[in-house]
Amino acid sequence: MHILVSNDDGVYAPGIAALAEAMLPFGQVTVIAPRENRSAIGHRKTMHKPLRIDPASSFPIKGVAAFATSESPSDCVAVALLGFIKEPVDLVVSGINRGANMGQDLTYSGTVSAAFEAVIWHKPAIAFSLVDFSEDADYGPAAAIARQIVGLGLYRNLPPLTLLNVNVPPLPLAQIKGFKIVRQGLRTYNDALISRMDPYGRPYYWIGGEAPSGDMTEEGTDLWATHNGYVSLTPIHLDMTSYALMRDLQAAGVEHLVPGQ
């Protein structure tokens, strides 16, 4: 196999090193990730300025070809699949993200967007996140989970435009209770707009506030699973159509309206 590894925390983040090392038993591993942290950048694609790609010569895992880009995680996957990497890619894995990617986080996450980009190009993809935002987070258990999930070959049966989103609770491997196939939960964002003055007397702003929370009690969601010590696995499909609402709109007679009247 040839596995492409990316993330949004940056090419020298500990999570991507742990994930790349975990993939080595399966074959060739190539890393392309942003040179700097690009967290919460979403599915950004660089179209109007040059992309720079350089060898990541200090990447800590031997036997892995690693490159750093100047832009987003989705750019990393796009350039790889568009020909920067000559060998065909069999699987794209993204992560291991520092912090959870659950609920509506997926609309912000650069880590998940790297997986989105892969499935757009008809490559199977899995995004891995560790529900721990601390500087000294232990990525070892999450790396073992990633190796186990890839080893099961679940990615081979993913339908078109579908990725697998995996979140691992911050526990020693022996304390993780198991795996749950779950839906997205509902996040609560506690953002606050912080206003300050620069040295020239001009206002500037930060979007700050406390970390996201959410309903951990609703069984069957990713938030519930990780809160209760399980690895959450959520299939995510890029078709965001609300089919139920389509039927409601049709029943309301919208298609029979005369334009402009």
Task: Give the domain CATH number at 246.
Answer: 3.40.1210.10
pLDDT of residue 260: 85
Residue 196 covered by a domain = no
CA distance 114 to 7: 7
Residue type, position 152, single letter:
L
H helices present in the chain, as ranges? 14-23, 73-79, 110-120, 140-152, 222-227, 243-251
Residue 261 covered by a domain = no
Residue 202 covered by a domain = no
Phi-psi label, residue 122: left if phi above 0, alpha if psi -120 to 50, beta otherwise: left
pLDDT of residue 62: 93
Q: For residues 170 and 132, is the Cβ–Cβ distance under 8 A? A: yes
Residue 84 covered by a domain = yes
- The answer, yes or no, to whether residue 40 has pLDDT greater than 90, is no
Most confident option among 11-15, 203-207, 250-254: 11-15
Residue 240 covered by a domain = yes
Q: For residues 34 and 8, is the Cβ–Cβ distance under 8 A? A: yes
Residue 67 covered by a domain = yes
Triad 148, 40, 64: Cα angle to 5° = 45
pLDDT band at 39 (very low <50, low <70, confident <90, very high): confident
Across residues 200-216, what is the average pLDDT? 90
CA distance 154 to 147: 12
Residue 41 covered by a domain = yes
Query: pTM of the predicted model, to two decimals?
Result: 0.93
Print the domain residue range for 179.
2-187+215-256
Residue 214's contacts (CB-CB under 8 Å, 6 or more residues apart) are: 102, 103, 185, 186, 187, 188, 223
For the chain, what is the domain count? 1
Q: For residues 58 and 68, is the Cβ–Cβ distance under 8 A? A: no
Across residues 207-217, what is the average pLDDT? 87
Residue 209 covered by a domain = no
pLDDT band at 46 (very low <50, low <70, confident <90, very high): confident
pLDDT in tens, 109-167: 999 999 999 999 999 999 999 999 999 999 999 999 999 999 999 999 999 999 999 99
